[in-house]
Structure 1
Amino acid sequence: MADHGSRTGAGAGNGAPDAVPGDIGRVVASAAADGILAVDADGRVVFCNPAAEELFSRSAAELVGKEFGFPLVVGETTIDLMLPDRNVRVVEMRVTTALVETDTLHVAALRDITRRRRAQQELEAALERQNVVVAVAAHQLHNPLATIGVLADTLLDHRAVLSDRARAAAVHRIAERTAHLQALVRKLLTAARIDAAAPQAAAEDIPVLPFLIERLGNVTEQIEAVRLSCAPGLVARVDRLAFSEMLTNCLENAFTHGRPPVRARVVARDHQWLEISVSDHGDGVPEEFAPQLFERFTRGPNAELAGEGTGLGLWVVRGLARANGGDAWYEPSSAGGACFRLRLPRAPDE
């Protein structure tokens, strides 16, 4: 509100100046809302109730006599109210007009709907995410399921003449596509858990080296292409399932988008933190794309050509790392490829 000086008789700190006719108070009292302002024909505030003082974060002395600053159109509208601390409140305003003696008086009934608007925006964003998840899932599920269906029909067709080698190749391809579907479902379920802010399981002390070896055995047949570096005594304090998801996604990302050899390295930065890096010898990440790496459903420039990946893996990694008190980020690898780093809490020394 612009300060044009107090009018004669206006400015009592209790919001009801003596010079304001008593009829204004009766008009204001008849309105039902959180905050009430009475504004004269010149657009200046002549009355405010305590709820309006709280809503504007200003005293009655600061409000009365000043220009209201918003259009006074009979009916309902929504305004953005700038507070002294520069925060913004979303306010629903209902304006009525009364005739007090011979003066026209506008009564603005104000209700703070900031939380309602924020909840509505969050709901809309959640629904949009769900729509995207369904679209991505449908797209990513279609091709593997179609491949499995064709191969299964071929194997079941007694009229088909297949050599043992061809039959084994078909079975291997079915197993490969099934593993891809399982990984996709795992990512989608993890993303849903992160969105729902589901509580993490209790963190536990996990010896990192044997855990890494187990993950390598589970996620890839190219284990011989992984160079592992980790001191035997390092122990992480982290949720076991989340730790597995983070490592799995980092390794899958390196083999999908990089080239071997892939290096997994674990070091203790201090008594509080462990740092895990997974790097490859691929082409790296284009500089202009690097800021988007950890965004949900973001895929690299060549991902569409490859036809694989949901754009969820790295988003899941960062979400789980932060949920466990750590973080995840990207750096160009000294070997010329990509390097993804995890910082996770270290178990206290015994």
Structure 2
Amino acid sequence: MRHAIGIIGAVNLVLFAATAVVCVRQWLRDRSVIALWAALAFVSLGLVVCSDFLLPTDPATTVEKVSLRIAIALLLVFPYLLYRFAAAFAAGRPLAHFVDGLTTVLVLATGLLPDIPSEGESWPWWFVLYAVGFLVHWSVLLLLVAARLWRAGRLEASVARRRMQMLALGSTALAAALLLSVGAGDDHSWFALSVGLLGTLGAIGFLLGFSPPAALRLLWRRPEQTRMQSAVGELMGAATEHEVAARVLPPMAEMVGARGIALELPDGSVLAAHETGDGDGSGGDLRRFEFPYGTLVVRTSSFAPFFGGEERKLFQAVGSLMGLALDRTRLFAQERRAREALEQADELKSQFVALAAHELRSPVGAIYGISETIAGRSHQLTEEQLAELQGTLTTQIRRLRELVEQLLDLSRLDADAVTINPQRVRVRERLERIVHAVAPLDASRIGIEVDAGLEADVDVDALERIVSNLLANACRYGEPPVVVRAEQEDGILHVTVEDSGPGVPEEFVPQLFDRFARSASSAETVSGTGLGLAIARSYARAHQGEVEYRPAAPQGAAFELTLPSLAGA
């Protein structure tokens, strides 16, 4: 029995010494306060275990007695240092004053004890009080550590949770070993062997908690790893960035025990976020992982940085794979947009050719027919008939001119060949010219409500193209009176063209500025190309402005042009 107990003692010495070495190495690597408390705790415990082999059972010399008191003091501060390790993860420490005070009193009492009874001697009352305080101190602190680590570990990732549970197991086993050692009696009994085995169990728990073998980590990590492999395998089927984030962020959060995770793009916007809804009272740790495609912002518990170092490396590796998947979806989206743009361009080209052929045929045919009639039968026609034919001819020529100008505008806008040259203009004077050019016969029916002294720095050609198209649209589809208003506010020119017609059907508003777009009702009653508003908006945007529609009150349509001042351009 004595031989077995000796072997158990030697094993415990090796295990606690190994744990101390692991903790010291981690502190040297991290230089964190948390690692420092762990290193101090197990260095002190390792020294105590070594002293058990070096010191005699009954110290006789002064050096031996002083060494025994130092060993007892080191044994006394071990649970305190371990408690400080567990409490360092949170901002505050419960029972801080009580624990600090009790530890200080017991350490001082260890040095001030009149004597330490030898084995087999009866204990005086003052030593009984000291021993009770010692046992309460040890058991309460170690059980507090075990409860805290076990409770907090339930919300962590698998590896961190198992490591914290191992530390909780080690703390509980040591507390039980100390309590049972009081009643062990004979140092070579089966009871003493059981106490030694409890110490071994505690040492193994601490060693596995601070430095589990790689194979054990893989075993513990298997649930998250299986889910992550499944998520990574599904990445190739993700068609959008949001799908990639939705498939990867949840298992990534599970891998590191994150309470929440978000993907921020380089412009600061959040592409996707995932919240687990879990939380505890141990504080938190917000970490940012930078990648070429953006930043992964992870909110974990305060325990995760210490217990999840290897998981963070895996997290970064998966983050890199996520970058490849995002690049793939972006390339796929670019290819899809390019294909859709080509299809749309082909559709627009077909519409353009068909519309141009149809719209050009009508005025050209009318002009040709009227010209042939006048040339061949002018001597047979009365003056009234000739005047009517000439009026129709003029109308068709204007229609042809308008169509040709629209087609030229489209070609210039599509080729980005529109040059903006701002200059100071008198707005009212310029609008009056546009009104007389667009509707010379109806100019008196178009009101202009503009301050005569209003001036703005705009491109004259762009202003004429935009307002003329808006006026032509109001005269063609609206009803009089038509009013043109203009004002300038904060360097931005606002021009509004408003008619009193039936307005734009609500269901047609989203397509109002599309090329070749015409509502069903207007297409049946009014001729046109459906290009005027599209051209007006394109010119406005080339001028860094905008054209917007709103219903007029009590009825009608109002189109507002906003053009910024470009005097410094």
2 CA distance for matches of 1:333 and 1:80? 43
Which of the numbers 140, 154, 160 marks the counterpart of 2:359? 140
Deviations 1:130-158 (CA, angstroms, capped at 9, x unpaired): 11111111121122222112211111113
Residue identity opposite 2:342 in structure 1: L
Decide whether the 8 Å contact of 2:537 with 2:546 is kept in 1. Answer: yes
The answer for the alignment partner of 1:33 in structure 2 is: none
SS at match of 2:341: helix
Decide whether the 8 Å contact of 1:136 with 1:310 is kept in 2. Answer: yes
The answer for the alignment partner of 2:457 in structure 1 is: 237
SS at match of 2:541: helix
The answer for the alignment partner of 1:48 in structure 2 is: none
Does 1:68 find its partner at 2:233? yes
Distance change in 2, residues 1:332/1:63 (3 Å): same
Does 1:128 find its partner at 2:128? no
The answer for the alignment partner of 2:377 in structure 1 is: 158
TM-score (norm 1): 0.67
Which of the numbers 328, 342, 350 marks the counterpart of 2:561? 342
Coordinate RMSD, CA, aligned: 3.3
What is the 5 A alignment of 1:262-273? 262-268=482-488, 270-273=489-492
Which of the numbers 179, 182, 200 marks the counterpart of 2:401? 182
Distance change in 2, residues 1:169/1:65 (3 Å): closer
2 CA distance for matches of 1:255 and 1:322? 24
What is the 5 A alignment of 1:10-89? 67-69=232-234, 80=239, 82-84=243-245
Which of the numbers 258, 263, 274 marks the counterpart of 2:478? 258
Aligned-residue identity in percent: 31
2 CA distance for matches of 1:174 and 1:299? 26
Residue identity opposite 2:464 in structure 1: S
The answer for the alignment partner of 1:279 in structure 2 is: 498
Which of the numbers 517, 520, 530 marks the counterpart of 1:301? 520
TM-score (norm 2): 0.43
Could you say which structure has the higher strand fraction? 1
Give 1:120 deviation, angstroms: 3.5
The answer for the alignment partner of 2:544 in structure 1 is: 325
Could you list the runs of 5+ residues in structure 1 that have no partner in the other structure? Answer: 7-44, 46-61, 72-77, 88-108
Give 1:67 deviation, angstroms: 4.8
Could you say which structure has the higher helix fraction? 2
Give 1:83 deviation, angstroms: 3.9
Which of the numbers 444, 459, 480 marks the counterpart of 1:224? 444
Give 1:79 deviation, angstroms: 7.1
Distance change in 2, residues 1:281/1:117 (3 Å): closer
Residue identity opposite 1:343 in structure 2: T
Distance change in 2, residues 1:265/1:121 (3 Å): same
2 CA distance for matches of 1:133 and 1:192? 11
Decide whether the 8 Å contact of 2:477 with 2:526 is kept in 1. Answer: no
Decide whether the 8 Å contact of 1:321 with 1:342 is kept in 2. Answer: yes
Decide whether the 8 Å contact of 1:282 with 1:338 is kept in 2. Answer: yes
Give 1:288 deviation, angstroms: 2.3
Decide whether the 8 Å contact of 1:219 with 1:252 is kept in 2. Answer: yes
Decide whether the 8 Å contact of 1:283 with 1:337 is kept in 2. Answer: yes
Decide whether the 8 Å contact of 1:236 with 1:344 is kept in 2. Answer: no
SS at match of 1:281: coil
Residue-pair matches, total: 268
Decide whether the 8 Å contact of 1:206 with 1:236 is kept in 2. Answer: yes
Deviations 1:24-68 (CA, angstroms, capped at 9, x unpaired): xxxxxxxxxxxxxxxxxxxxx9xxxxxxxxxxxxxxxx9878652
